[in-house]
Structure formats: structure tokens, C-alpha cells
Structure 1
Amino acid sequence: MDVKLGQLPNWLAARDYSPAGIVRGCQGGYNRFIKKYIDVKKGGIGGIAMMLTGYVIISYIWNYDHLKHDRWRKYH
């Protein structure tokens, strides 16, 4: 998050885009999320609510095609 707009192309070029690099990046993001929102001294419901909201949104996106056809179906 400390990358300035002018440094963005150089920063993107320095990233590891191999499958292993992408997995390490996702694991790092997941670990930062857990450290920031879940493993805190005074925990709240914020981190769990964010994970639940994300799950609901992803489930809706995955099932949108099926839901769209149900909406257009005529019952008579």
C-alpha cells in the first residue's frame, strides 16, 4: 500500500506471476487479513462479518445464472 502511482509499473514488473508466486501472494493476503481482523486482543464481529459477507456475495455470483432463470420463469 506504499506504492505511489508513478512507481506502479515498476512494482508490477517486480511481482512473481508464476503459479507458486500467486499462491504465496494469496496466502500472504489471507494471513494479513487473519492477523488484522481475527487474531486481535479485543476481537469483535467485524472480521467474521466480512468473511460471511464475502461468502454471500461469492455464492450469489456463482448462482446468478440459475437465479436469473428462476426469476424469468412464469408460473401458471
Structure 2
Amino acid sequence: MGFGEYPAEYNPKVHGPFDPARFYGKPDIPFGEVKLGEVGSWLGRRSIGGLPSALSRAFWRWQHKYMLPKKTGIAPFCQLAIGAVTFFYVINYSKLKHHRNHKYHW
């Protein structure tokens, strides 16, 4: 699957209009139903190559739930603001930890 192309499993006659938040592949067994002897093969079916697709689907699910409804509330903007604050705190933590107030004992 190249950039901007439909997944190979997508069939417009079967699935209808394309939804970027939906996985069109064959569903796998949920982790809760995996037997102990099958854990190795179940983990082997997980690949790093599927991570960008999973992140894209998660982004589109968030868009459909919070940003694209007609009457959107304040929730997506608060989520973005809290996410930005957290991200910048994490990347600047090494500089911020030197500005702590220490109590020196004599």
C-alpha cells in the first residue's frame, strides 16, 4: 500500500464509502482470548510496519468523535492544550529540574 492509496482489503462494493478510521483487514484474536501456547505466534503477527496505519486510524477516530461533529464542544481544544503542555514539559524537563527550590540545612 503506497501513500494515498486504499488498503488492498478495501472493496467499495462490500464496504461502501471508505472510512479512514476503520481497519479493513482480517480481524485477529483479541489478546484476552489467546492461549498461553499461542502467545509467541500472536506477538509474531504484530509488526512495526503496522504502527503508522494504527496511529492514522486512531487519529481519524479522534477526529470523527471530537473535531468533525457539527456542534463540537471545548473538549478537543482542551485535549490539544493539555497534550501540548505535557509534551513541552517532558522535552524541557532536563532544564526545568535545575530550577527546583532546595532547602539547605546548616
TM over 0.5: yes
Give unpaired runs (5+ residues) of structure 2: 1-29
TM-score calculated relative to the size of structure 1: 0.69
Q: Measured at CA, do residues 61 and 38 of structure 1 come closer, stay the same or move farther in structure 2, by a change above 3 Å?
A: same
Shift of 1:72: 5.5
Give unpaired runs (5+ residues) of structure 1: none
Q: Measured at CA, do residues 65 and 42 of structure 1 come closer, stay the same or move farther in structure 2, by a change above 3 Å?
A: same
Q: Percent identity among equivalent residues?
A: 28
Bigger relative contact order, structure 1 or 2 (CA pairs below 8 A, ≥6 apart): 2
Task: Spell out structure 1 runs of 4+ moving beyond 4 A.
Answer: none
Given the alignment, which residue of 44, 56, 61 partners 1:32? 61
Deviation sequence 1:28-58 (CA, Å, 0-9, x none): 1111111111111211110111111111111
Q: Measured at CA, do residues 13 and 47 of structure 1 come closer, stay the same or move farther in structure 2, by a change above 3 Å?
A: farther
* Mapped partners of 1:31, 1:16: distance in 2: 21
Choose 1 or 2 for highest CA Rg: 2
TM-score calculated relative to the size of structure 2: 0.53
Of Structure 1 and Structure 2, the greater helix share is in 1
* Mapped partners of 1:28, 1:13: distance in 2: 21
